[in-house]
């Protein structure tokens, strides 16, 4: 599976949570992959909710968001998030702009949580660099 998100915005999310630590490119790549997997899962669940309501368009409320935040406030770009939303759903579904922005907001919060915890794990390992293993360890401990 190729990663749809560009690494630069994902790297920005990690760095804002790194608290002065360096960030390995492998950590950025791993987090981008995890964001994509999570986004595809959320979109599949949202498609089920839309189908239950007799709709073919995913709306912000299908993602549990009443109103979408402003897209200018987000670090993650909307176009790749739209492609992520469509990974595991049929072509018959449409994704409204509010749904795209809502999903981007959810994924950015998810990325912030992972990045913050990965930085804690890197410090605990007495390292100055966040690595992919910190992101992987976070998911292993979380599950």
Residue 44: per-residue pLDDT: 97
Q: Within 53-131, where are the H helices?
A: 78-85, 97-124
Q: Name the β-bridge partners of 121.
A: none
pLDDT computed for residue 1 by the predictor: 62
Determine the pLDDT at residue 96. 95
Q: Which fold has domain 7-142?
A: Histone, subunit A (1.10.20)
Residue 125 is predicted with a pLDDT of 97
The pLDDT of residue 80 is: 96
State the pLDDT at residue 26.
Answer: 98
Residues near 88 by Cβ (< 8 Å), separated by ≥ 6? 40, 41, 43, 44
Report the pLDDT value the prediction gives residue 84, as an integer from 0 to 100: 96
pLDDT tens across the length of the chain (143 residues): 678 899 999 999 999 999 999 999 999 999 999 999 999 999 999 999 999 999 999 999 999 987 777 888 899 999 999 999 999 999 999 999 999 999 999 999 999 999 999 999 999 999 999 999 999 999 999 87
- What's the pLDDT score for residue 71? 83
The DSSP 8-state label assigned to residue 68 in this structure reads P
pLDDT at 2: 78
């Amino acid at each position: 599976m190729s990663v749809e998100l560009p690494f630069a915005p994902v790297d920005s999310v990690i760095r804002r949570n790194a608290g002065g630590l360096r960030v390995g490119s492998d950590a950025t790549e791993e987090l981008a992959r995890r964001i994509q997997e999570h986004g595809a899962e959320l979109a599949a669940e949202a498609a089920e909710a839309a189908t239950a309501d007799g709709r073919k368009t995913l709306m912000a409320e299908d993602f549990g968001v009443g109103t979408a935040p402003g897209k200018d406030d987000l670090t993650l770009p909307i176009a790749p998030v739209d492609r992520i939303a469509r990974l595991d759903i049929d072509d018959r579904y449409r994704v409204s702009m509010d749904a795209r922005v809502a999903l981007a907001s959810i994924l950015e919060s998810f990325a912030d949580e992972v990045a913050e915890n990965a930085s804690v794990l890197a410090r605990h390992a007495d390292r100055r660099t966040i690595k992919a293993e910190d992101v992987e360890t976070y998911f292993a401990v979380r599950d």
